[in-house]
């Protein structure tokens, strides 16, 4: 029997009837309304680039380190001299990334190991910077998983805050969806990437020493290896979940990125692991459509990708939803429909209607297995014809 997710049902079987989908559509009207209001509230009219920037509402009561570095954590303390040597004195030729936290450089340690050196901006408010930096060090030092970027060490002194992490050489997911490297990610690779991210979140939510809520799952925070394995990075906004196993959430000020932010968390300030599930749902839509969550250059009814995709999904118009760079086939449309169904359940308006990441992993593996079987069948039929 398929597992029930609250009032919703997920299984790799064909899409549910139009009657049950209509009920689901009613539930999502609240989501679409919240999407619109939350984006306008945070100045979405300033432009697409501004809308994609991370934002946070901070207060002294929220900005404290609730994470204690575990005794078994092993992050190496680097010296500034070592980091200058590794990055040619933070040369612009070594720069590989730029974000709200600071600049990322590619470095090489004395043993020849390539690393990513993340240097914080010095003009950021010191109290906020220190908290965000210490949070990321503490959390990264306490976790280890194939699909999480590994922390190798750090430096903290004066007004310098620097993280040293494993170097992941193939850019981020958003860059690949934009074809910045001239390679189109096919649907099978996109499924594998989704599964990798789901595995990482399952580990953080259920198998870390304490539940960890990432709070900033988005395409630019997913790094890809040369073999297109996904690694989740950037734990600056991460938060340890409730200590009480009976508690459903923690109350905290809002942090995240417009477009991926859980509307229930935005409205109530109640953060839970289901907030990451919501962001993952939006990311699934991004994987299928190739579009960013907010694209203000488009016509009005297409600016919020989740809303536009959901309307097309209800109309069974999957051809328009599927990234135009992907091949059109019956099997591709079938997979797109099933992934979209999962995406909209993950992005349900209330956390109680969203699945756990454990269940998401199981569903995605089932979809992948079915898609692989369809592709193999297609190859066999082609060989027989020839």
Based on the residue annotation, tell me whether 216 is a catalytic residue of this protein.
yes
With b for 16 or more beta-carbon neighbours within 10 A and e for fewer, the 154-177 pattern comes to bbeeeeebbbbbbbbebbbbbebb
Task: Provide the 10 A C-beta neighbour count for residue 293.
Answer: 25
Rounded Cα–Cα distance for residues 127 and 148 (Å)? 27
Joined tokens for residue 316: 């069974």
Q: Are the CB atoms for 143 and 204 separated by under 8 Å? A: yes
Residue 122 assigned to a binding site: yes
Per DSSP, 244 falls in state S
Q: Are the CB atoms for 292 and 52 separated by under 8 Å? A: yes
Residue holding tokens 């539940």? 211
Return the beta strands (E) in the chain as ranges. Answer: 4-5, 8-9, 54-56, 76-77, 95-98, 102-108, 114-120, 151-157, 160-166, 212-213, 222-224, 230-232, 239-240, 250-251, 255-257, 270-271
Catalytically annotated residue among 216, 234, 276, 353 = 216
Residue holding tokens 């756990």? 356
Per DSSP, 118 falls in state E
- The annotated binding site for ATP is made up of 122
Binding residues: 122
Catalytically annotated residues: 216
């Amino acid at each position: 029997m398929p597992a029930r997710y609250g009032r919703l049902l997920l299984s790799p079987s064909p899409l549910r009837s139009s009657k049950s989908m209509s009920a689901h559509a009613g539930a999502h009207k609240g989501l679409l309304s919240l999407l619109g209001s939350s984006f306008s509230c945070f100045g979405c009219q300033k432009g697409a680039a501004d809308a994609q920037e991370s934002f946070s509402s901070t207060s002294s009561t929220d900005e404290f380190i609730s994470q204690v570095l575990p005794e078994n954590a092993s992050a190496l303390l680097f010296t500034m001299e070592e980091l200058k040597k590794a990055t040619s004195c933070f040369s612009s030729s070594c720069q590989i990334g730029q974000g709200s936290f600071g600049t990322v450089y590619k470095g090489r340690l004395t043993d020849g190991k390539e690393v990513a050196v993340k240097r914080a901006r010095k003009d950021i408010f010191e109290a906020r910077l220190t908290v965000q930096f210490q949070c990321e060090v503490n959390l990264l030092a306490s976790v280890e998983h194939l699909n999480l970027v590994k922390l190798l060490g750090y430096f903290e002194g004066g007004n310098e805050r620097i993280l040293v992490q494993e170097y992941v050489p193939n850019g981020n997911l958003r860059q690949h969806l934009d074809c910045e490297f001239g390679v189109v990610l096919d649907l099978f690779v996109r499924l594998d990437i989704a599964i990798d991210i789901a595995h990482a979140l399952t580990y953080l939510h259920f198998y870390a020493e304490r539940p960890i809520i990432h709070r900033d799952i988005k395409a630019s925070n997913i790094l890809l290896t040369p073999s297109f394995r996904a690694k989740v990075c950037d734990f600056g906004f991460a938060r340890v979940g409730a200590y009480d196993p009976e508690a459903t959430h923690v109350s905290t000020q809002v942090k995240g990125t417009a477009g991926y932010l859980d509307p229930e968390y935005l409205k109530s300030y109640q953060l839970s692991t289901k907030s990451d599930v919501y962001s993952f749902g939006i990311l699934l839509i991004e994987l299928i459509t190739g579009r960013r969550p907010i694209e203000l250059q488009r016509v009005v009814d297409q600016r919020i990708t989740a809303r536009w995709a959901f309307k097309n999904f209800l109309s069974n118009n999957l051809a328009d939803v599927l990234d135009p760079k992907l091949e059109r086939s019956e099997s591709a449309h079938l997979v797109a429909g099933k992934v979209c169904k999962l995406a909209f359940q993950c992005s349900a308006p209330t956390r109680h209607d969203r699945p756990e990441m454990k269940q998401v992993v199981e569903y995605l593996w089932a979809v992948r297995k079915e898609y692989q079987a369809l592709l193999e069948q297609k190859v066999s039929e082609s060989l027989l014809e020839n």
